[in-house]
A and B are shown apart, each in its own frame.
Chain A
């Protein structure tokens, strides 16, 4: 029996990986993004009872803020996303994760709207997270970073809006964990959200989703290079563990149909199976590639903390167990979007939110889009998603009477 798997995770040469590692750390400490530092005297209170101080938020903007600051579209990123939504990524050199959605003439039209995409706190691209320096010790926080929640992320974003002097967003918009932030924004800051587009998300993280996250976290923590979370101090990185976590998670972002269409049982660069544990199948090779490229741009502890934040997410629980209570009295215009083949955040979970919003007679639209691409559909070319976002945003701008930077109106 040929056992080749030991090499598999080391396909990226060591020297190169160190360079990538250094580049990633540099982005964390000094991102190619705008950044706001909130001083020690302005701490961010956290749901856990502790506080984060000082803290920073790195963010990207696209388009121009209009005179009365009424054209802000706040874009919230997903678990493994970052603020680079519509520009070339400084580490990967690839287009932003929502390049199809944001730009001149695109559904979130930067000729009309001022788009703001912040890196979540707990992240690793410039906002304060577990790889940031703990002022108490002068070393990276690592496992001493406080556990954060989605509401903490949103609270931090509200501080960013305060800093920018923007009272109310025309729209808060995002998919997956970004959608969770949108719902949290609408529940916590009712008056600051004129309209909201939660995409492919739910009002709470399901048991199954918590289970998948736990598998990922255990994979990271089982890697000896995790060093009890202090790998940065040790000059190490739990690349294998994080890659496995990413591989497991990546499966949940796709659908059986997508995997079958893309790979079937096709073999990777070979005529027949090798009777070993090499990547015989294309799907294995694909997942290994996904795992390895991910570790070049993401911090393992950030992955632990952010998955935890999603697990703790349960808006109804924060409002007496009744989801509708979270939205009582809301004036926000909502547009929920789900995808038929998304089994991570199935349509039913969006529909629960819709029913809660109906119960408070909120202004709500709900679009379920026929797609075989699974959860990832929200990041991909989905014309119906684009049409819904464009139409909904246009209506929101019309109802708010937004004057675009060029002086035009809807």
Chain B
């Protein structure tokens, strides 16, 4: 994860609220790619969580620390190795895995340092993405993925199906998998192929 945009301050970002729901109150959490600290703030205020963050952008880190959040400058590819096994109840990587150099290693690290891992990402299998490539003949650009191919930090985009395969490969147990449509509504009671088609983003709760 050498570059990614700082997370928006929009406290209503749906996947963050969804992630916050997944976290047991009072637990220890590491939020990797914590942006301006929105999730850490939600977790601390509403859920009494002992939260830590890692953020790539210095501006993001400095603003988190100024708010009293425990955040260090670093990135998912390089800095997870320094943490001991099972240091956290949850290791959270939201909207960041697609911007890492080695998503597989990062996922393995998450499952090593956290009893559970929470991963959210934009679904590259969404129908809008598919149709842009198929009928437009160009790299997709959506509200979720606004950058052009040459300036996007997202170097390892994947679909929900791809991610499930990766979970299989690393031996991760999927405890919960939630796909959200463009309106942030959970897609329930849908087969996988439909979730992969209509889900704009996905949130996974994983364990070893």
The answer to whether A and B interact is: yes
Footprint of B on A, CB under 8 Å? 333, 335, 354-355, 358-361, 363-370, 384, 387-388, 390-392, 394-396, 398
Centre residue among B66, B73, B79 by max chain A CB count within 10 A: B66
Q: Which residues of A contact B74 (CB under 8 A)?
A: 354, 366
B70 touches A391 (CB 8 A): no
For the complex formed, measure the closest distance between the CB of A196 and the CB atoms of chain B, giving whole angstroms.
12
With a cutoff of 8 Å between Cβ atoms, the chain B residues found around residue A363 in the complex are 50, 52, 70
Instruction: Compute how far the CA of A358 lies from the CA of B84 in the bound complex, rounded to whole angstroms.
Output: 8
* 1/0 contact string of B75-92 vs chain A (CB within 8 Å): 000010011100110000
Tell me which residues across on chain B come within 8 A of A369, comparing CB atoms.
58, 62
Judge if B69 is at the interface, Cβ distance under 8 Å: yes
B69 adjacent to A365 (CB under 8 Å): yes
What distance in Å separates the Cβ of B52 from its nearest Cβ neighbour in chain A?
A: 7
> Which residues of the partner chain B approach A333 to less than 8 Å between Cβ atoms?
70
CB of B61 closer than 8 Å to a CB of A:
yes
- Given A358-B79, A359-B82, A361-B87: A387 touches B72 (CB 8 Å cut-off): no
B61 touches A366 (CB 8 A): yes
- What chain A residues lie within 8 Å of B177 (beta carbons)? none
B68–A392 touching, CB < 8 Å: yes
Q: Given known contacts A365-B70, A388-B66, A391-B68, is B82 in contact with A370 (CB within 8 Å)?
A: no
The reply to whether A391 and B65 contact each other, CB–CB distance below 8 Å, is yes
Closest Cβ neighbor of B61 among chain A residues: A367
Chain B residues within 8 Å of A, Cβ to Cβ: 50, 52, 58, 61-62, 64-74, 79, 82-84, 87-88
In whole angstroms, what is the CA distance A359 to B58 when docked? 22
Q: Known contacts A363-B52, A367-B62, A370-B58: does B83 contact A358 (CB below 8 Å)?
A: yes
Chain B residues with Cβ below 8 Å from A388 are 62, 65-66
Q: A365-B61, A365-B70, A368-B58 are in contact. List 14 more A-B contacts (CB 8 A).
A: A333-B70, A354-B74, A361-B83, A361-B84, A365-B64, A365-B71, A366-B61, A367-B58, A367-B73, A384-B62, A387-B66, A388-B65, A388-B66, A396-B68
Q: How far is the CA of A387 from the CA of B83 in the complex (A)?
A: 27
Q: Say yes or no: A392-B73 contact (C-beta < 8 A), given A361-B84, A363-B52.
A: no
B51 closest partner in A (C-beta): A363
Contact of A366 with B68 in the complex, beta carbons under 8 Å? no
11 inter-chain pairs at a CB distance below 8 angstroms, sorted by A residue, are: A335-B65, A354-B72, A364-B72, A366-B72, A367-B61, A367-B62, A370-B58, A387-B66, A388-B65, A392-B65, A395-B67
**Best-surrounded residue of A359, A361, A396 (most CB of chain B within 10 A):** A361
> What is the chain B residue whose CB lies nearest that of A399?
B68
A358 touches B67 (CB 8 A): no
Partner of A395, one of B69, B73, B82: B69
Shortest distance between the CB of B109 and any CB in chain A (Å): 12
C-alpha spacing A368/B55, complex, angstroms = 12
The smallest beta-carbon distance between A187 and chain B, in angstroms, is: 18
Minimum-distance CB pairs A-B, first 9:
A395-B68, A391-B66, A366-B72, A387-B66, A361-B87, A358-B82, A355-B82, A365-B65, A388-B65
Query: In the complex, how many angstroms separate the beta carbon of A99 from the nearest chain B beta carbon?
Result: 21
How far apart sit A368 and B65, CA to CA, in the bound complex (Å)?
Answer: 11
Bound together, the chains give a CA A392 to CA B67 distance in angstroms of 7
Instruction: List the A side residues contacting B58 at CB < 8 Å.
Output: 367-370
